[in-house]
Structure 1
């Protein structure tokens, strides 16, 4: 053999890796149609790669590997490919849609006989696996080159542990110029996310200037109330609490925050509490340009704190949209309680609640019970109490399932009775009734009203997404859950949403996608029992019984008896979907 054939060349390159999500499933359903669609899509992709100066190096089946001399060109190409393929999918039925995942990295590669090899290629391929169907994921190295060079926004996914790569790889999801994520929803569904006429806003955690760390919860509470009040405006998309609080305590650049969260506006401020007085300063900034739109300073007695929140909210929404209807401002004025002591207890419970541990939930439960004792009409506290009790049950931290389910249900219904127009309360009541008590019809009623009242809350969307899974409306659930991810891109509890997306795919027998999303959920919370449950069943249904049994052993090492009760009490409107889950668990050797 010619020695020249063995020569290996090294060079720096931008690597573009792509494959079709769910390709095996599509082939099993319609081999001829899938091959025809793949050929048409590849013609589009290959043409765009060439136009952007790229070279296709390796292809196999549905996968494509290309190199570019410029990472900017590679990312521009990837974005145009996804837009073009989304347009092509419009002419096909939902079942025929092909959605490519694309990963882009810049690094050292080896070239042999025209093929690309090495860690740089492996990282690009792993990033492609992280990307959503129809989406793009790039490495931190690539992000450094393109973040100011292309008209796209990016969501920081954090360090990702990827197969066969020793060090975690920091990944960024690419969003469209209109701040919409390139996600796995259909083109029709994506219109629900691409909303250039509906501005996004992020309320950054207000800074505590009181000089007393014990007052930190008060500043956090002001921030949360403003997020909740602004999200009641149906025309305004508000980034959720969990995502913005990942920025707490950090010096941030407003333009970078705008790019990271994909928002047009950023509200920031500070709280200084002294004795019976409070001073709040706020500033509304247009993120793209860094231009100040509005600023305000408010000095009030603490007895006026709720009126103060109304005043700030009204000023913000009026600054963003001068023609906002008076009815929308009125909706932002709805207040949860006039009892300052109950409000203080509620605020103290929230940090414990978001810790998502048994001890945290029990401390939160104690504080919330004290809050509703002081104000029995406090709907938000009743709703948080129902959620708190439910999460203790889902975590397996319960001794009497029936009694605890009844407590969660009673707290949820009490919350709705106190405020039947509070979307968060309705959403948690819907989840509690469906997931813990099997009361599906009433849960659906609450879910529909919550989505009508507050369609732009990630909390509402995630809770209602789970209800829709139980009621066999999985495609609609997927729309809600993907929208929740967009509104809460940095959510530390995002594993709940990721797992729900995995559950949607499981119910559609898309087990490879279930594995993808539940593994991502488990990277965030390694012992999350519901994620372990769906991953075990998915692996078993794919015939990977040894892997399924291994995950099943981890599942059963948790508080499995309580989990078994949850599993057996969970009500699915379509009994075939329930049996699909049970069958997978049995194949893995899990006792159900």
Structure 2
């Protein structure tokens, strides 16, 4: 005679007695139909596995042919017994077109044995890519302007630690803040299999959140849960949600991943809110935005001196204020950027953002190219989903003439953030430096379809037209970029450079005169003036201003080795000397 089954399955707050076919909640027996008990046993014996409908029907009705609707009725009764609504899915997830999956953590205990966790062995609920959308206000109006995006950013950071899944970065989803987006369309635009869609409401000192996982293929939810917490415990809430989502996705965590998911960069609510505001201003990508971001990040680090992410944000803001923005002398702000990045790494050496910031400073300010490459590689190893690391590493590879590697790296950034006009334009810039001009034009034009007002795209497109001798088209793109950028000084110089190449020397000299007047009120890059003199054929003055550009650590000097505009100077011995000063060689 076979021994009776005395196995007990535990899934909080329930216990399922396999031998007696009883479902218990605490000391109370839960009323449940016999077939629902059998169904529950099949599910809990295979947690985390997708059990197809045909197998379930054979298991419940082995010698009878039944309609699939009978299965639906049993699942409905089971959810009712577990006090789970059809859209909650704390225990049972419907996999459209396949079957069902039990997603709660289950442990098994036999007679005289302690509980042990169960691990599924067959088909897993497999989501390879996901995007976390900015949480939307439940009432339709968000009083805390950064709370919804902040919750999404926290989940993105935590889920980004899992190597089994690609998580779209915050920059990729910020455009979807607000109501009115069709989720399936959003998912297809972001090229992901699933979405995390959340609703959030703050009432006095409490925060209520509803989170659901959505299949992009058909727009159907396959898990959802509600959370309620004090606002002062917002970080506990973020931990709880991220752990619940990880369980629903059946992500298997290594010890290190568990540690990273539980990691908090700050426990200070005010510092966190200031960080969110700082990133909001940083993402505006304007001089004023960088200055406001710096104010927010400095306030955040003042409140919490151990807030490494805020120091990384500070480093990014300083270097862009003195880099591509060009409104402040790089030598004035890059030491501050370096100090902030170093401080971030002193606090947390595993922070990919800080390694990336310091690597970029190593190129532009320290001119330490090997250190920069080590920094970018370390950042990508720590967080393969960090898109800025891929983009800036691609720029580094292009600057050193490794164009195939640069194309690979920028392609990774685009794969992670497919709607980024910035990454698409950067891919075109790499083709330009590689002297693949037709591919560069095609790539930049394609990227600009995402945002025709992205002024760097028109700037770089002008470079390509100039290389092809298409001066009217070059001027048109530079003039549009200048208008969109608010008359950025470097673009005025680009226009002067083209005037000189096109034989309009009087107009070129007028641009120089205006820039010299402008330099008395605000910073004008020496590199910009060198461009015009080079177009005029005045090599001595061109080299003199390039020398000053080197001393000022102008960001364009990093690309001197491969920039086609300087081909006419390469045979001059002074050009090799310039490359040596920035630790480059021909």
Q: Once the 2 structures are TM-superposed, how far is the Cα of residue 519 of structure 1 from its aligned partner? A: 4.3
TM-score, length basis structure 1: 0.59
Give 1 or 2: higher strand fraction.
Answer: 1
Q: Which has the higher contact order (CA 8 A, sep 6+)?
A: 1
Q: Which residue of 1 aligns with 2:442?
A: 516
Distance in 1 of aligned mates of 2:461 and 2:452? 13
Instruction: Report the count of equivalent residues.
Output: 387
Instruction: Pick from 486, 494, 502 the counterpart of residue 428 of structure 2.
Output: 502
Note closer, same or farther for the CA distance 1:437–1:584 as it changes in structure 2 (3 Å cut).
Answer: farther
Distance in 2 of aligned mates of 1:430 and 1:251? 40
Q: For residues 312-461 of structure 1, what are the structure 2 equivalents within 5 Å?
A: 312-461=241-390
Instruction: Pick from 387, 393, 405 the counterpart of residue 464 of structure 1.
Output: 393
Q: Which residue of 1 aligns with 2:405?
A: 476
Equivalent position SS for 2:296: helix
User: In 2, are the aligned partners of 1:522 and 1:528 still within 8 Å (CA)?
Assistant: no
Q: Which residue of 2 aligns with 1:80?
A: none
Please, which runs of 5 or more residues in structure 2 have no aligned partner?
1-124, 491-523, 529-548, 571-577, 579-586
Equivalent position SS for 1:413: helix
User: In 1, are the aligned partners of 2:156 and 2:169 still within 8 Å (CA)?
Assistant: yes
Q: Once the 2 structures are TM-superposed, how far is the Cα of residue 358 of structure 1 from its aligned partner? A: 2.3
Distance in 1 of aligned mates of 2:144 and 2:479? 44
Equivalent position SS for 1:371: helix
User: In 2, are the aligned partners of 1:361 and 1:392 still within 8 Å (CA)?
Assistant: yes
User: In 1, are the aligned partners of 2:129 and 2:192 still within 8 Å (CA)?
Assistant: yes
Distance in 2 of aligned mates of 1:584 and 1:240? 41
Q: Once the 2 structures are TM-superposed, how far is the Cα of residue 383 of structure 1 from its aligned partner? A: 1.1
Distance in 2 of aligned mates of 1:271 and 1:244? 17
Q: Once the 2 structures are TM-superposed, how far is the Cα of residue 238 of structure 1 from its aligned partner? A: 1.2
Give the superposed CA RMSD. Answer: 3.2
Q: Which residue of 2 aligns with 1:559?
A: 489
User: In 1, are the aligned partners of 2:322 and 2:329 still within 8 Å (CA)?
Assistant: no
User: In 1, are the aligned partners of 2:323 and 2:554 still within 8 Å (CA)?
Assistant: no
Distance in 2 of aligned mates of 1:340 and 1:229? 18
Q: Once the 2 structures are TM-superposed, how far is the Cα of residue 488 of structure 1 from its aligned partner? A: 1.6
Q: Which residue of 2 aligns with 1:257?
A: 186
CA offsets per residue over residues 82-130 of structure 1, 9 Å max, x none? Answer: xxxxxxxxxxxxxxxxxxxxxxxxxxxxxxxxxxxxxxxxxxxxxxxxx
Instruction: Pick from 211, 219, 222 the counterpart of residue 282 of structure 1.
Output: 211
TM-score, length basis structure 2: 0.60
User: In 2, are the aligned partners of 1:204 and 1:268 still within 8 Å (CA)?
Assistant: yes
Q: Which residue of 2 aligns with 1:583?
A: 567
Whether 1:487 aligns to 2:487 is no
Q: Once the 2 structures are TM-superposed, how far is the Cα of residue 403 of structure 1 from its aligned partner? A: 0.9
Distance in 2 of aligned mates of 1:297 and 1:449? 38
Please, which runs of 5 or more residues in structure 1 have no aligned partner?
1-195, 587-591
Q: Which has the larger radius of gyration?
A: 2
User: In 2, are the aligned partners of 1:318 and 1:324 still within 8 Å (CA)?
Assistant: no
Distance in 2 of aligned mates of 1:537 and 1:483? 24
Whether 1:235 aligns to 2:219 is no
Q: Which residue of 2 aligns with 1:303?
A: 232
CA offsets per residue over residues 27-64 of structure 1, 9 Å max, x none? Answer: xxxxxxxxxxxxxxxxxxxxxxxxxxxxxxxxxxxxxx
Q: Once the 2 structures are TM-superposed, how far is the Cα of residue 397 of structure 1 from its aligned partner? A: 4.6
Distance in 2 of aligned mates of 1:438 and 1:519? 32
Equivalent position SS for 1:251: coil
Q: Once the 2 structures are TM-superposed, how far is the Cα of residue 299 of structure 1 from its aligned partner? A: 1.9
Equivalent position SS for 1:293: strand
Note closer, same or farther for the CA distance 1:553–1:573 as it changes in structure 2 (3 Å cut).
Answer: closer
Distance in 2 of aligned mates of 1:549 and 1:248? 36
User: In 1, are the aligned partners of 2:363 and 2:558 still within 8 Å (CA)?
Assistant: no
Q: Which residue of 2 aligns with 1:112?
A: none
